[in-house]
Amino acid sequence: MNTTPFRRFLLLAGLMASIPAWSASQIYIPHVPAPGGGFGAELILENQTTNEQTAWLRVWTAKGTLLSEFHADLDPQEIRVVKAETWNETGEAGYLTMEQSHQITAGLAYLHGPEQERVAFQPAITEPARVWRFYTGDWSRVVDAMVIVGNLCNTLEIRARQFDAEGSPIGDDPLTFSVEPGNKFTYVMGNDFENIPGGFIEFAANQSVYAMGLRASRDNLSLIAANQAIAVSDDLAARQQLSQARIRWNGTGTNLDYSFRLEKSCFCAIFDVEIAVRNGRIATVTNRLDEDPFPDERLHELFTIDQLFDLVEKTLAEAPDDYRFEYDQTSGFPTGITIDPLICGVDDAKYYGVSEFRALRTTED
């Protein structure tokens, strides 16, 4: 088996709305239940540190339209329960996003029944995907399946394990199976796992995947519920993040005079430089790899922050096979740009990293 560490499965199958693709700068809190379906939801936020923390969140429709933004100031080690009616007033919410944080955990508690009791908890998808099993009727009449589409280049290694309603694993070892490149595989969970209402099946994979969860009736093979396929990269979400980051950057007041460290990693000519920008243009370049001046013939490879934003926009227009963009949460400037034109290509990926940013006094000061 591939020894690559298992990553989160970028989907969650259930009876709720679908979610968008993974983005490196934020985490997704998926599957806000639709009104009238018998389920409610509460947003659970936990500050795991001994310092005050702020969670910055956005609420989206299932199709990726921004509905609202809000934040929650959390005391040290506070667990905050935020009722859905405070952030889903219209009932249109499909999912939430939160700025990536290693200090705050987040997820949805699902409520069900006349008393709206908590029946399950879904963590944000920085964790492996969990398929919750609410059905209390005759499970032999239900088909509970996962449709998994193989990567074009590499074999997918899938790991599945069942947990009871208390979150304890059932059995000693997880079940594992593979999906060959370019193939589509339908995994029927009922063939290997019994139905335990309130329990769940956890899925993990050795790489990001396309997948769809579905639940259907054996009586007439009618579809009861399904989730749309989830792409590794989502242009709409990436464009929204780019626009929001640019707004933050343009509002800093430091977007004309500043310095920063810019690193390029690739199977080509790398660099590591400190760039000083004056009045929006590159003024000086300091080579950090050695004591030699940075070559004049390579100056065209360098970027200002505004030009890095242009690079992100150009990348989205060219639609490479895979990309990742990360932004500074406060000032908005890109901190990481990964571009892989062809997933199956060799030595064609590039990475740009930005660090050590500082504002400079203007020449008029």
Can you give the length of the chain in residues?
365
Other residues' Cβ atoms within 10 Å of the Cβ of residue 273: 21
- Bridge partners of 58, per DSSP, are 69, 97
DSSP summary character for residue 293: P
Distance from the Cα of residue 79 to its chain's centroid: 23
Any idea where the domains of the chain sit in the sequence?
7-226, 235-359
Residue 347 three-state SS: coil
pTM comes to: 0.44
Confidence (pLDDT) at 126? 44
pLDDT tens-place string over residues 191-240: 888 877 767 777 777 666 656 556 666 665 544 444 433 333 346 678 88
Half-sphere CA count of 236, side-chain side, radius 13 A: 12
Average pLDDT score over residue span 339-359 = 85
Hey, what are 273's tokens? 């430089």
Which two structure tokens, joined as six digits, stand for 271? 């660099």
Residue 52 has pLDDT above 80, yes or no: yes
